[in-house]
């Protein structure tokens, strides 16, 4: 027996690389937004009274929860705010998956889900997606301790129609269904309109992608008041003051600038559609994406070789050395210029 035996050992989630190389790089590996946050965010941060940093921030992130609630047509106590959606999801796993019956999520999905399940000792079953990487709704009509569905899914980019999400939620009234909508603004259908219809639904979103604020760390959940209360109780049992004053001020400004949000998200969608066509011309099979990334496999050249080659050109994309997807690349949609550069480099390499 040694002290090592008493240590909780976990296999952590591996985030995309933050490259440390000289010179200009094109970073298309962690699904960040290619444009800066709204000018209103800059203004909000500039006008933040430094004295507020002396004080603890609002424990429920009330100003931000209120702004999010108003934007989506909910009450403040139907919204939970956290340090990125990773924090919201981690707290949600701990709160809502306390059953001994396994929770369900797809075999190919956000690779943090099994990490949280292992950390909190939540039993789980990874349900295989169909061969075309879509969800079979019937797989989620079996006894379970809870369900997590990323919609649109990552890293495939494929969106599940809202009717299918509703079918899953409806078929599972005795457990909580979490819908992780990190990428929904790029083409998915949000389940937010179902929140007041189904008590067992929790919808999670983030400011990290479509609101250009991955560095600010803001995520949120919308659910009925009872769920939000249980979730807050767990959070208050770990860390009361999660949202710092700067994130609160920036977050409110980010959600209020609707025009900028719409304009920049549309730009990303247009670039995605353009990039998609170019990749197909170059011999890639590209899965139908409703996100700010594409998941693509080349007909002749192994994904890993392309990934390594792009790195030598200071272009970083994401490669997962995992069952079923080890011949795919996940490519974040950058600016049009960045994507043109990517296409040019690929053209030279593949010819």
Q: Is 299 helix (H, G, I), strand (E, B) or coil?
A: coil
In total, the chain counts a number of residues equal to 351
Min separation Cβ 154 and ligand PMP, Å: 4
Q: Which residues, in sequence order, are bridge partners of residue 286?
A: 296
- Residues forming contacts to ligand PMP in the complex (CB under 6 A) are 84-86, 110, 150, 154, 180, 182, 206, 208, 214, 219
Min separation Cβ 332 and ligand PMP, Å: 11
Q: Are strands 284-286 and 293-298 parallel, antiparallel or unpaired?
A: antiparallel
Rounded to 10 deg, the angle between the 245-256 and 62-72 helix axes is 20
Q: Is 278 helix (H, G, I), strand (E, B) or coil?
A: helix
- The residue (of 208 and 245) whose beta carbon lies closer to ligand PMP is 208
Q: Is 126 exposed, middle or buried (0-12, 13-18, 19+ CB in 10 A)?
A: middle
**Distance spanning both ends of the chain, measured CA to CA:** 60
In whole angstroms, how far apart are CA 247 and each of 70, 251, 255, 262? 18, 6, 12, 21
- The residue (of 86 and 189) whose beta carbon lies closer to ligand PMP is 86
- The residue (of 187 and 282) whose beta carbon lies closer to ligand PMP is 187
Min separation Cβ 183 and ligand PMP, Å: 7
- The residue (of 113 and 345) whose beta carbon lies closer to ligand PMP is 113
Q: Are strands 329-332 and 293-298 parallel, antiparallel or unpaired?
A: antiparallel
- The residue (of 251 and 346) whose beta carbon lies closer to ligand PMP is 251
- The residue (of 214 and 234) whose beta carbon lies closer to ligand PMP is 214
Min separation Cβ 23 and ligand PMP, Å: 26
Pairwise CA distance, residues 245 & 268, whole Å: 29
Residue nearest to ligand PMP (CB): 84
Min separation Cβ 106 and ligand PMP, Å: 11
Min separation Cβ 150 and ligand PMP, Å: 4
Min separation Cβ 47 and ligand PMP, Å: 25
Q: Which one, of 112, 116, 72, 63, lies nearest residue 222 by Cα?
A: 72
Whether residue 306 contacts residue 297, with contact meaning beta carbons closer than 8 Å, is answered with: no
- The residue (of 189 and 298) whose beta carbon lies closer to ligand PMP is 189
- The residue (of 109 and 264) whose beta carbon lies closer to ligand PMP is 109
Give alpha helix (H) positions in 154-257: 162-171, 225-236, 245-256
Compute φ and ψ for 26, nearest 5 degrees: -115, 110
Min separation Cβ 344 and ligand PMP, Å: 28
Q: Any idea what DSSP says for residue 186? A: G
């Amino acid at each position: 027996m040694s002290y090592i035996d008493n240590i909780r050992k976990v296999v952590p989630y591996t985030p995309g690389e933050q490259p440390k190389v000289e010179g200009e790089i094109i970073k298309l590996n962690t699904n960040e937004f290619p444009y800066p946050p709204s000018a209103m965010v800059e203004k909000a941060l500039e006008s933040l009274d430094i004295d507020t940093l002396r004080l603890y921030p609002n424990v429920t992130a009330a100003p931000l929860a209120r702004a999010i609630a108003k934007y989506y047509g909910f009450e403040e106590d139907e919204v939970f705010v956290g340090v990125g959606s990773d924090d919201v999801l981690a707290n949600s796993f701990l709160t809502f998956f306390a059953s001994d019956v396994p929770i369900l999520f797809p075999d190919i999905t956000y690779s943090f889900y099994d990490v949280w399940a292992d950390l909190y000792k939540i039993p789980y079953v990874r349900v295989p997606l169909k061969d075309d990487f879509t969800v079979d709704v019937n797989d989620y009509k079996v006894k379970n301790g809870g369900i997590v569905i990323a919609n649109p899914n990552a890293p495939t980019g494929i969106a599940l129609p809202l009717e299918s999400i509703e079918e899953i939620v409806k078929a599972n009234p005795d457990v909580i269904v979490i819908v992780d909508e990190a990428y929904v603004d790029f083409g998915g259908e949000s389940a937010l309109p179902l929140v007041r219809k189904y008590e067992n639904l929790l919808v999670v979103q983030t400011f990290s992608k479509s609101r250009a604020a991955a560095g600010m760390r803001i995520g949120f959940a919308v659910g009925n008041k009872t769920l939000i209360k249980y979730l807050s109780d767990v959070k208050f049992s770990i860390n009361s003051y999660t949202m710092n004053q700067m994130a609160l001020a920036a977050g409110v400004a980010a959600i209020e600038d609707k025009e900028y949000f719409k304009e920049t998200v549309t730009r990303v969608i247009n670039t995605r559609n353009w990039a998609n066509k170019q990749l197909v011309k170059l011999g890639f099979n590209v899965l139908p994406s409703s996100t700010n990334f594409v998941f693509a496999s080349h007909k002749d050249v192994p994904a890993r070789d392309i990934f390594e080659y792009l790195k030598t050109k200071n272009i970083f994309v994401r490669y997962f050395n995992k069952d079923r997807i080890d011949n795919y690349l996940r490519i974040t949609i950058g600016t049009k210029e960045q994507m043109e550069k990517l296409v040019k480099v690929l053209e030279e390499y593949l010819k």
